[in-house]
Amino acid sequence: MTDIYTIQERSKIMSRIRSSGTAPEEALYSVVRELLGDHRRIDRNVSRLPGQPDIIVPSLKLAIFADGCFYHCCPNHGRKPKSNVDYWIPKLSRNRKRDRANRAALRKMRYTVWSVWEHSLKKHSIQRTSALLKKRLASFVMLRRCEIKRRNRSIR
């Protein structure tokens, strides 16, 4: 695909996007990418899977969502909207139902599903979140390795 921008313009645009990096999905991706290193494939916004996961790590069968505090009704920041209540209340409740259904569908496909709240991906808490994810990923990778070993054994 040809770019309408010159390389210089494009890299300027991309560096601006990277340095602003405020979107929770971006922050989540950067953390996971850093933790997993370059050798594992990470797919983003995977529309062929239920709920269009923000991140899929195919080799681990792991799906990770960055959940917006408002749209996904975070217990700390998911306050009830004050205007257009007739629109928002049913919509948010539909969101929640759809989330649950999508994640159940993913689990049925043998994906492990993790969710990370938007507030955990903000600048002030990203370091803590990264440390938590690091621990979780390390034990998860071990778990998957054991599963694969077990599976191989049972075939023989």
How many residues touch Zn ion under the rule CB under 5 A: the total is 6
Decide if residue 79 touches Zn ion (CB under 5 A): no
Is residue 46 involved in binding Zn ion (CB under 5 A)? no
Does the protein bind Zn ion through residue 74 (CB under 5 A)? Answer: yes
Question: Which residue's CB is nearer to Zn ion, number 68 or number 144?
Answer: 68
Binding mask 9-38 for Zn ion (x = CB under 5 A): ------------------------------
Report if residue 98 touches Zn ion, rule: CB under 5 A.
no
Alpha-carbon dihedral angle through residues 81, 125, 25, 61, given to the nearest 10 degrees: -110
β-strands 112-117, 62-67: how paired? parallel
Work out whether 128 is an interface residue with Zn ion (CB under 5 A): no
The DSSP annotation for 97-124 comes to HHHHHHHHHHHHTT-EEEEEEGGGGSTT
Closest CB to Zn ion among residues 60, 69: 69
Burial of residue 126, with CB atoms counted within 10 A of its CB: 0-12 exposed, 13-18 middle, 19 or more buried: middle
- Using the minimum distance from each CB to Zn ion, give the nearer residue, 44 or 119: 119
Region binding Zn ion by CB under 5 A among candidate stretches 35-43, 77-85, 121-129, 146-154: 77-85
Pattern 106-125, binding to Zn ion, x per CB under 5 A? Answer: -----------x-x------
What is the distance between the alpha carbons of residues 50 and 101, in angstroms, rounded to a whole number?
Answer: 9
In a 3-state reduction of DSSP, which class is residue 58? helix
Residue 82 tokens, joined: 């004050």
Based on the shown chain and the rule CB under 5 A, indicate whether residue 77 belongs to the binding site for Zn ion: yes
Q: How far apart (Å, rounded) are the C-alpha atoms in residues 145 and 59? A: 10
Our finding on whether 105 is near Zn ion (CB under 5 A) is: no
Which positions touch Zn ion (CB under 5 A)? 69, 74, 76-77, 117, 119
